[in-house]
A and B are shown apart, each in its own frame.
Chain A
Amino acid sequence: MNSARVALVTGSAGGLGRALVAGLGAANWEIAAATHRGGAFAADLADPEQARSLIARVIERYGRLDLLVANHAAMTMAPVDRYPLDDWWRVVDTNLSGSFYLARAAVSHLRTTRGAIVFVSSEWGITGWPEASAYAASKAGLVGLTRALARELAPAIRVNAIAPGIIDTPQLQVDAGAAGISLGEMKSRYADAIPLRRIATPREIAATVAFLASDDAAFYTGQVLHPNGGTTTAS
């Protein structure tokens, strides 16, 4: 039986995921780092069985769970009337359903530890984004899931979310390729639309998650924090 507080971080191989593992690790969390690619905690979270199995493997390994950070995401962009149906549902079922499946499987363990959940939503879920209908719907759905589960699981479990803006991650190279511009041009294009005139570092977004997970945020539940450089002023 491990005495350190245990956090499960999904999507841990991505740009933000790696920063989450580092940031929470620095805050003395023991971390189960899950990815869809491999390792001890591999899971395709669109499949409810694999979500159940992931939680079971974490409990088997660490004996407890104090924090779930649902950070995994799938992303495809396409016009709504030409969006391949399988892709649309893969995005929604990975991002939204997968987070739900994890929360459902984790809830009994989190009740025991009086733990917390942080869902990683997105600015695009708040503002919408053209040709990102599945992604934006899934991320907006996470806001609703946060509010629903915060009410339902209080007072034992706190449930919050972050809706970050554009982050400096390898995804930007994909965006630049799709737009046919350089990475530098992509970054400045995004930065120009942000009041703080820059995109976020993964580290500072991870710090927002670490705050919500910490005892400093013990009175936060059902809340969505918006580290986005000022792109949304109300939501």
Chain B
Amino acid sequence: MTATRDSVALVTGASGGIGRATAERLAGAGYRLAINYLTNRAAGESVATALGGRAYCADVSDPAAVEELVARVETELGPIAIAVSNAGVYQRVALEDVTDEHWRRTLRINLGGAFHLTRAVAPGMRRRRQGSIVFVASELALVGSDRASPYVAAKAALIGLGRSLARELAPEIRVNVVAPGPVDTPLLPDSERGPAYTAAIPLRRIGRPEEIASAIVHMAEAPWTTGAVYSPNGGVVIQ
């Protein structure tokens, strides 16, 4: 069973970048939007207002906060049909310079965020026999990257988590993973925007957030797709 388009979609990290573009596309398709943000309240509220949805401040690395987020969304907007785990952090740091706290925080947000969201939405989705979850990983999980080991490890772990949960939560709930290549968002460093970098990309440019959003929404709505990993990446990864 797929979601009907007047139901509720929750997107974490939706105050900007891929999360915001995904929220916009879901709203355009008729979903009522719950916009999660952590620090950028003005942007979160502004996205929610523009889309006729609601903004919710919550730290996805905190399981109790995510439980509360899901409970509030379902009380105020209705049952969640689509949950997109998008909130993430990215920082280039050499292995020897990664602090214990940097490692822990990257794992708790980028991996824990998806785990916490899934455990909070799964019981309701299973009860309603309807639900779709999409994790936003990264193309770097497929090919690696230097000086980003915590990020790459967490994003690769998300792929294993998504495949496990696709098996475990079937047939009621579908779980899929999008692994975007370099996209024009605030997370992308300047070093990955210039012509020297884009010359090595087969499609000769970085991606637009809307191009990732379309992949996310497609997966979220594809009724026979679960446990899949789609990687819109301009041809950076061809394997």
Our verdict on whether A and B bind, yes or no, reads: yes
B123 contacts A130, C-beta separation under 8 Å: no
For the complex, is A150 an interface residue (Cβ under 8 Å from B)? yes
* Set of chain B residues within 8 Å of A133, measured between Cβ atoms: 115, 161, 164-165, 168
Closest CB in chain A relative to B146 CB, distance in Å: 4
Interface secondary structure of B, over-half rule: helix
A80 contacts B95, C-beta separation under 8 Å: no
Interface segment among B74-82, B148-156, B180-188, B189-197: the answer is: B148-156
If the complex has contacts A137-B158, A148-B145, are A130 and B167 also in contact, measured as CB distance less than 8 A? Answer: yes
Closest CB in chain B relative to A1 CB, distance in Å: 24
For the complex, is A62 an interface residue (Cβ under 8 Å from B)? no
Q: What is the total number of residues of chain B having a CB less than 8 Å from a CB of chain A?
A: 47
A151 contacts B144, C-beta separation under 8 Å: yes
B165 contacts A92, C-beta separation under 8 Å: no
B163 contacts A136, C-beta separation under 8 Å: yes
Cα A189 to Cα B118 with chains together (Å): 30
If the complex has contacts A80-B119, A144-B153, are A104 and B168 also in contact, measured as CB distance less than 8 A? Answer: no
**Binary interface profile of A, 102-121, with partner B (CB < 8 Å = 1, else 0)?**
01100110000000000000
A152 contacts B168, C-beta separation under 8 Å: no
A140 contacts B146, C-beta separation under 8 Å: no
Interface secondary structure of A, over-half rule: helix
* Set of chain A residues within 8 Å of B227, measured between Cβ atoms: 128
**Binary interface profile of B, 93-136, with partner A (CB < 8 Å = 1, else 0)?**
01110101001100100011001001110110000000000000
Interface segment among A11-19, A81-89, A167-175, A202-210: the answer is: A81-89
Cα A195 to Cα B40 with chains together (Å): 52
- The residue on B at minimum CB distance from A222 is B144
* Set of chain B residues within 8 Å of A103, measured between Cβ atoms: 95
B residues contacting A by CB (< 8 A) are: 63, 94-96, 98, 100, 103-104, 107, 111-112, 115, 118-120, 122-123, 140-150, 152-169, 227
Interface CB pairs A-B, < 8 A, 23? A81-B119, A85-B63, A96-B107, A97-B103, A101-B103, A126-B160, A128-B161, A128-B227, A130-B164, A130-B168, A132-B164, A136-B161, A136-B163, A137-B115, A137-B164, A140-B160, A143-B160, A144-B152, A147-B141, A148-B144, A148-B149, A149-B149, A151-B146
Kindly list 4 other residue pairs between chains A and B, CB separation below 8 angstroms, not including A145-B149, A147-B152.
A80-B118, A96-B107, A151-B145, A152-B94
